[in-house]
Amino acid sequence: MTATQVQVRAPGKINLALHVGPPRSDGYHPLATLFQAVSLYEDVLARPADEITLELRGRGTDLPTDAGNLAVRAAALLRETGGVDRGVHLTVTKQVPVAGGMAGGSADAAATLLACDQLWGTGLSREELAELAAELGADVPFALTGMSAMGVGRGDLLTPVMSRGTYHWVLAVQDEGLSTPHVFRTFDALAGHTVPSAAGPGSDVAGPGGAGDLAGPGGAGPRVDPGLLAALLSADPLVLAKHLSNDLQEAALDLRPELGDVLAAADRAGALAAVVSGSGPTVAALALDGPHAVSVAGVMRAAEVATEVLTVTGPVPGARVLEHVQGRR
């Protein structure tokens, strides 16, 4: 008996806080962030095939389906690591906005790692999958773990964070995404940072970070406000609302001034607080509870400041198997 079909679901994320340090000598930015996984998902269906192929459904059907796609790279990395000589056909159904600061591509990669591990029987532990995830991108390890976690370095060095209660969010989604490297370049320009001329490809974004980037006692890098960690333990959205922050928000607003209208609409709608998620342009507005989220979403839709307005909850679990079908081959 062997697996003939595996379906895995992985969540998108929002950043409750995102703090960015100046570029280091290698051009990379140390980060400190607080992730929360939310109930907007990417589904990956994996079936046996001779080669690695990809089919996209839902959002982002114009995205590349070759090695330029993170899901394809995830499958190739696992195949090489596990010494597998088979392929896989991946069907990815996307709900997370593309280039929206919610790590949809990272969720695809995380779900693909888990789905192919099950399909091929490579038998890797979650810790081993997380190591591969970190090779693929800074946000991929969190899509595996989900819930709430603090990330430092590139955001891939994760520490689970205790969180009580369920938080209700209204997401204002735009049809045109923002380039993460472009946002980081604008962040540096606005802050007056000098990016080293020797910085290599990819240095526009957060780069490798070690323990020195975690600003504990005596640490010099950015850090997550302890008040935010306490707020998550309180299970009180009114407390959490006081601690939402994003160092990249000014850069996102500089590139897309209309996001200011989105934040203003959230305020008029009665949201407890609103923040640009990650590098944007998705805006996450915090509500008191489910009915309040529906009310805030209705007002924001009427304001016509976003292509789409969604309601989600968090935190939710990371990548998990929904279906594992076995049969004889």
**Coil, strand or helix: which one is 322?**
strand
- Torsion sign across C-alpha atoms 90, 96, 98, 99: negative
Q: Buried b vs exposed e over 182-205: b needs ≥16 C-beta within 10 Å?
A: ebbbbbbeeeeeebeeebeeebbb
13 is catalytic: yes
Q: How far is CA 123 from CA 34, 78, 81, in A?
A: 30, 11, 11
What torsion do the CA atoms of 59, 65, 68, 72 make, to the nearest 10 degrees? 100
Q: Are 180 and 279 in contact (CB under 8 A)?
A: yes
Catalytic residue among 108, 117, 139, 156: 139
**Residue 48 preceded by cis peptide, ω within 30:** no
Name beta bridge partners: 150.
34, 159
139 is catalytic: yes
**Coil, strand or helix: which one is 129?**
helix
Catalytic (active-site) positions = 13, 139
